[in-house]
Chain A
Amino acid sequence: MTGQDVALVLLGVVALGGGVLCVTTRQIVHAALWLVVAFGGLAGSYLVLTAEFVAWVQVLIYVGAVVVLLLFGIMLTRAPIGRNDGLDSENRWVALVVAVATAALLVTTVVLGFGGAHKDVKPGGGSADALGSSVFRTWVLPFEVASVLLLAALVGAIVLSRTDIGAKDGD
């Protein structure tokens, strides 16, 4: 187990702990804050895996934008601030069984498939330079499609949130 493995496992434990607390906490604002911890741990994992650019994009988009958007949603729906026992539904034990079964299946498959695989990782493969030339040469068509998708999502969100352009009365 090299130093890279140790750092990766520790950051993974941070991400997993944040995720578990996010889905089990009884306070809805705390769930958003634990989500920040999980995303931060994952960004650290990307850094350890030498994917610097993806790590900073993760921090910018997820921690910066998505969590703020979720907090806005929490406030706009007037969610109960403070401890609330009604956040989980009654079938949480069924959900736990399904989640444990999923974890067991995936972990067994992964360990059987890649149990002893070992390879040294060299830095430099995830710089903005390398990723940028990849995106704008090989992957330029998906890049443009992603921009159209974002435009469609923007228009859709505007149409959904405006009240004056909905269906007329009697429709």
Chain B
Amino acid sequence: MHIVYPAVISALLFAVGVYGVLARRNAILVLMAVELMLNAVNLNLVAFDVWWRDRLHGGQVLTLFTIVIAAAEVGLGLAIILLVYRNRKVVDVDALRTLREDAVPGEGDPAAEAAEAVEAGL
């Protein structure tokens, strides 16, 4: 078996996940892309574990731990997204701007800033 095939597949899958995290707007789709990145890492771990014939099976056991952590991460992430949806009625990461720095005066949209100020006052 050539180790380069699983390694290249895993690298490409990680890049796909990077694109998804950066390009998606819906928070649940961002979570899905994060899952893709975690799975790319898992494939690398399993491939190199099998490749080195690790007697302690470190790579495969670490893969199991990664799956456990990913499950916990999805559970907590969805709880946070549902909380955001309950408070804001929106899950678009572009629309959650209350933590950003103030815009340069004169550049922003005054109506949107006023709406945000009202929202932040809640």
Contact = CB atoms under 8 A, between A and B. Distances in A.
Interface in B91-122: 91-94
Contacts of A4: 1
Interface of B is mostly: helix
Interface residues of B, number: 70
Given A23-B24, A96-B19, A119 B57 contact: no
B75 A103 contact: no
A119 B25 contact: no
A20 B5 CA distance: 18
A78 B92 CA distance: 12
Interface residues of A, number: 88
Residue in A2, A28, A66 whose Cβ sees the most chain B Cβ within 10 Å? A66
Given A126-B50, A160-B83, A70 B78 contact: yes
B61 A134 contact: yes
B3 A53 contact: no
Contacts of B42: 42, 54, 58
Nearest to A42: B39
